[in-house]
Structure 1
């Protein structure tokens, strides 16, 4: 049976981290919210499951994954579940290290979201632009270098070499790092202009993931939703700056 992935239609968002793992493994899956209502799919079907009074453990918000009768919420949790099944996680205790890295990536994603919605998700960006500018400045000058410097060091200190974050083979954390870097380049092209010089190993990892046959095919397909200004990674020129600039 195909996995059922639930996430908003038209957005990469947090769902994209799960899509990359499914695409790399060539696992059969259905994007429920992108389907047709006449087929029992669409965003209405996703919302109905979230609001269900019969489901014993209804999910709070997408993304979530259905595998048979089991519903797994939260992108990092979904990847922890899928990792071993799809051959994208170690079978020993290092799987917890991979999961920890995924949770740290999720922390960065939350901070990226808060650069354009620092006061409230229910408010429009235009209602919090001044606060967003201050938050984006701090993220670019302090938080992004701290996170990316950490991930670069993880690659450098991997006993199995710097081709992967953990061990000597691809894990879902490598795929998610690709997506994080793609999102940062889209949202902050000025701030990431010298990314390759500053984070040589991360840039090489990003390129290696993009060149993997299944990922390359996915990136070139219509299944890959373009980054846009309604997702987590948004490009607002007024929030982008060179690190440390006035």
Structure 2
């Protein structure tokens, strides 16, 4: 089976959490918009196809299924590709962690767009500086020290005592925040998360992906953006 992943071209964005899972699993997939352009998503978003109606990318098609929202997509893919054990408790916990990651991702985006997503960063720079200070000093520590505690409570190597898609997503969080807020992140004492991120990056399938052209670099068009005036 080949999956079709729909996400905006030119950026990692939220679609990267799904790509990492597909790449780790060596699953056959097509990054559709990268081949056909962003316009290909309009017919889905406008409801011109049968099946579930996605609100926004990323969404994944698998046969007749149309699955949207990162946590929902990963919850679907993980048991099919050995990225989560059969334990119901662990599947629920992984989903819980992924939803918490989604909260962090949303807050990271809102640092550079605190007034409105439809406005340019340049239109809200003063508000972004204020939001960034609170994000650096309060929200980054709160989220990441929570995840550090999660890893510690589960043996110090993984979020769930064994490798799962939650580890892939934590790698992406550490990568994105390290790009966007290098000074703030350097002050955080997160030995377990840093070690986890390195071990994920060294996994053969992920290492091959990171070295390929499929892995786009972080940029100021995505979720995790680096503006020097927001990092202190």
Same fold (TM over 0.5): yes
Report the Cα offset of residue 90 of structure 1: 1.8
Find the aligned partners of 2:8 and 2:49 in 1 and give their Cα distance: 22
SS in 2 for 1:191: helix
Report the Cα offset of residue 148 of structure 1: 0.6
Matches within 5 A, 1:47-86: 47-86=42-81
Matches within 5 A, 1:91-102: 91-93=86-88, 94-102=90-98
1:165 counterpart = 2:176: no
Matches within 5 A, 1:100-115: 100-115=96-111
1:23 corresponds to: 23
SS in 2 for 1:192: helix
Report the Cα offset of residue 112 of structure 1: 0.3
RMSD of Structure 2 on Structure 1 (CA): 1.0
Find the aligned partners of 2:12 and 2:49 in 1 and give their Cα distance: 29
Report the Cα offset of residue 53 of structure 1: 3.6
1:13 corresponds to: 13
Gaps of 5+ in 2: none
Using the size of structure 2 for normalisation, the TM-score is: 0.97
1:228 counterpart = 2:219: yes
1:85-111 superposed Cα distances (whole Å, 9 cap, x missing partner): 011012112100000000001110000
Report the Cα offset of residue 194 of structure 1: 3.3
Find the aligned partners of 1:43 and 1:146 in 2 and give their Cα distance: 36
1:38 corresponds to: none
Matches within 5 A, 1:175-194: 175-194=168-187
Find the aligned partners of 1:208 and 1:57 in 2 and give their Cα distance: 36
2:116 corresponds to: 120
Find the aligned partners of 1:176 and 1:142 in 2 and give their Cα distance: 21
Find the aligned partners of 2:47 and 2:119 in 1 and give their Cα distance: 27
Relative distance call for 1:190 and 1:51 in structure 2 (3 A) is same
1:29-78 superposed Cα distances (whole Å, 9 cap, x missing partner): 0000001xxxxx33222112211344342211000000000000001110
User: Which consecutive aligned stretches of 4+ in structure 1 deviate over 4 angstroms post-superposition?
Assistant: none
Gaps of 5+ in 1: 36-40, 242-246
* Aligned residue pairs, count: 231
1:167-188 superposed Cα distances (whole Å, 9 cap, x missing partner): 3x21111000000000001000
Find the aligned partners of 2:49 and 2:197 in 1 and give their Cα distance: 43
